[in-house]
Chains A and B, each alone.
Chain A
């Protein structure tokens, strides 16, 4: 094996840039690099998924599914982790990895939800997109557990850049805790939600109830129509892939844009085993790829490499990229690679019933919900726990499922349960977790996967701060539902494992100081500057927002920097 592009066939295997992974951040890297003129190779470990053509269930009716969209026991037994995901069912199972094909080792319980295909999890994400605020970037330094090397103001234009292209719906709410973006029209609230909004905001100052912001084309603009994407039809069957291209995915949006430049090479079934380090130049020279099907190894070379394999897989890849210079993994001079992994705390939720509003209903299926930006510890430390949480909530009327627990049989029973039932309201939390050094991933010393790559060991858990934060949410949620006038309020701790939030972040965190972080302010490895990490692995902290929009903005910003540095001859 050589680390230099001198092997036979090296010419065909040499590109300007390599992007590892085709999910939400990899798609953005591909688009920005191709549009800047770089011949770009995108390596995807899974199969190809073509927009529209490969969404086999998108237009199916409930009666087209043999098990009516429930998961058969045999499938559930074979996929004990994936089956826990709310989006995994008979209509979507083909977009999730099969657990038995991709084993990993759980030092402590961690549900690792993965989508190995072109588009990655951008096909099956929840599509909720909010900007971080300055409080989120400044928080770690204020609270003494980390330091972001960038500010909100530096990222703001890149948020705008990705929002315009992806298409984000929302209201201009004017909140410092959740900055406004480039919005398409927001979704509507129903009557009970408007009632709840009024009651909560009257009773609690500083708690803002706003409509959710999501990556759906509520009113497509010319730049969206140019992508052949159409208006959201309010089907809310998004996890099957959208035949209208109405929600943002790599498949519908960034990858076609990259391909349109003529400079994209997309290579599915390409498992990247390691990034190759050239001791002469001190830079990465390329990557070693194992063909997912034939298991043949091959190498590709480029001047710039973007790691977008998804948070934990990027950690795995860097840890497995060992060399004489980096015996503990690429860029890992201090043993911090794989550490400070954090996630979102989703454990708490509440539900209740709301009386009245009997002649009020709604039509269509809204792909988002209401939210309340974090109101805890925003400007200063106020509670006995660190950081805070976003609240999601919504109200709806019971459908035919109300009959499951209602007594009765016959025509009157049928008539009763086919009419809209009582209103229910729910709340759930999305809590920030503080990255801890002990929360880490590492390579297994003895177990390998089917491609000869060491399995990942996850050692990630909750701590006392997470418990306190959840208890606070449940207490605040209770008082807010009481203010709404809701009845039969039930609070729940799901005790779900970390990972099921599918918001794992960190392990190769950004920072000014190369002694305490892996990546610089442009997402370059401090110790190997032509390698950029712009997926969840780069995150210094988690905020309380859904993270994908921030990954997109960071990726576009880093890609622009990579191109500028190439032009200057610095890479």
Chain B
């Protein structure tokens, strides 16, 4: 059975077809706005995420997938309770660093200046290492498991059909999303 035939059989299988049809369009972006978080804080997180993973020629950035909402929801639901405080601390410290370095809001900075603030924050030993790693980890998870991240920034093949153990990697080839 080749892949096309496998796909056809899957689609024909009553159960599988019902599955596709019943899939709710549920993603975290459709979840309620998290309590206790201001629109401004969420927007700042989204902008930080979009600075970590910006739009490039072939794929959109993390800002396009409402990454701030994901970071807050995921940290609140899945991480230890203190992670939410860590996120808030990171936002305060990044905002502070932005004022100190450029005397401007982070959201008003040019891309290169935002990158400079975040790079310095990530490199700062005690202060920024862990909070920034948390934001980075959540950004990467949220983005690379989103449809644009998985299918455009990476290669997504839900039904590979076969495993090939030795494939020549071409210079432009991206990683598999799964």
Chain A residues with a Cβ under 8 A of chain B: 50-56, 58-74, 187-191, 193-194, 220, 230-231, 233-236, 243-244, 358-366, 397, 399-401, 403-405, 407-411, 413-415, 417-421
A409 touches B145 (CB 8 A): no
Q: Closest residue to A233 on the B side, CB-wise?
A: B159
> Contact: A61 with B158, CB < 8 Å?
yes
- Smallest CB–CB gap between B160 and chain A, Å? 4
B26, B77, B162: the one contacting A72 at CB < 8 Å is B77
- Top 10 closest pairs, chain A to chain B, by CB: A188-B165, A52-B15, A364-B163, A364-B160, A53-B15, A62-B145, A361-B169, A190-B165, A366-B163, A68-B145
Cα distance A188–B167 when bound, in Å?
Answer: 12
Task: Type the 1/0 row for B125-159, where 1 means its CB is closer than 8 Å to any CB of A.
Answer: 00000000100110011101111001001101111
B176:A363 contact, CB within 8 angstroms: yes
- Once bound together, how far apart are the Cα atoms of A220 and B1, in whole Å? 8
Contact of B164 among A64, A69, A363, A420 (CB under 8 A): A363
B115 touches A410 (CB 8 A): yes
Nearest-Cβ distance from residue B101 to partner chain A, whole angstroms? 15
Decide: A63 and B165 in contact? CB cutoff 8 A.
Answer: no
B92 at the interface (CB under 8 A from A): no
Is there contact, CB below 8 Å, between A61 and B6? no
On whether A399 and B175 interact (CB within 8 A), knowing A70-B78, A230-B6, A359-B168, the answer reads yes
Could you say which residues of chain B place their CB within 8 Å of the CB of A74? 77
Q: How many residues of B contact A (CB 8 A)?
A: 68
- Asked if A67 and B23 make an inter-chain contact with CB atoms under 8 angstroms apart, the answer reads no
Contacts of A55 in B (CB 8 A): 15, 19
Partner of A361, one of B18, B22, B133, B173: B173
Residues of chain B touching chain A, judged by Cβ–Cβ distance below 8 Å, are 1, 3, 6, 9-10, 13-16, 18-20, 22-23, 26-28, 31, 51-54, 56, 73-74, 77-80, 111, 115, 118-119, 122-123, 133, 136-137, 140-142, 144-147, 150, 153-154, 156-169, 173-178
CB distance from B150 to the nearest CB of A (A): 6
Give the residues in chain A near B123, CB-CB below 8 Å: 407
Distance in angstroms from A446 CB to nearest chain B CB is: 35
B176 partner residues in chain A, CB cutoff 8 A: 363, 365, 399
Contact of B164 with A230 in the complex, beta carbons under 8 Å: no
Flag if A410 contacts B51 (CB, 8 Å).
yes
Q: Are B140 and A417 in contact (CB under 8 A)?
A: yes
C-alpha gap A363/B122 in the complex (Å): 34
Q: What is the bound-complex CA distance between A190 and B9, given in angstroms? A: 30
Q: How far is the CA of A39 from the CA of B166 in the complex (A)?
A: 51
Task: Please tell me which one of the listed residues B119, B142, B167 contacts residue A409 in the complex, with CB atoms under 8 A apart.
Answer: B119
Nearest to B152 among chain A residues (CB) is A418
Known contacts A61-B147, A66-B28, A397 near B165 by CB under 8 Å? no
In the bound complex, CA of A364 to CA of B3 (Å):
12
A155 to B162 alpha-carbon distance, docked (Å): 33
Known: A403-B136, A410-B115, A417-B140. A230 touches B9 (CB 8 A): yes
Query: Shortest Cβ distance from A244 into chain B, in angstroms?
Result: 6
Q: Is the CB of B144 within 8 A of A362?
A: no
Does A364 contact B162, Cβ atoms closer than 8 Å? yes
Determine whether the beta carbon of B173 is less than 8 Å from that of A414: no
Residues on the B chain within 8 Å of A54, using CB? 15
Is A191's CB under 8 angstroms from B56's CB? no
13 interchain pairs, CB-CB under 8 A:
A56-B22, A58-B19, A62-B146, A67-B77, A68-B28, A73-B80, A74-B77, A363-B164, A366-B163, A399-B176, A400-B144, A408-B122, A420-B169
A516 to chain B minimum Cβ distance, whole angstroms, is 47
| Complex Cα spacing A400 to B149, Å | 10
Q: Are B165 and A193 in contact (CB under 8 A)?
A: yes
In the complex, are the beta carbons of B54 and A414 less than 8 A apart?
yes
> Are A243 and B140 neighbours in the complex by a CB distance under 8 Å?
no
Docked complex Cα distance between A214 and B67 (Å): 39
How far apart sit A358 and B23, CA to CA, in the bound complex (Å)?
39
Contact of B115 with A409 in the complex, beta carbons under 8 Å: yes
Extra pairs beyond A73-B79, A194-B166 (15, CB < 8 Å):
A59-B19, A60-B23, A63-B145, A189-B165, A193-B165, A244-B9, A358-B169, A361-B169, A362-B167, A366-B165, A407-B123, A410-B52, A414-B153, A418-B154, A419-B173
Interface residue from A69, A191, A234, A360 paired with B162 (Cβ < 8 Å): A234
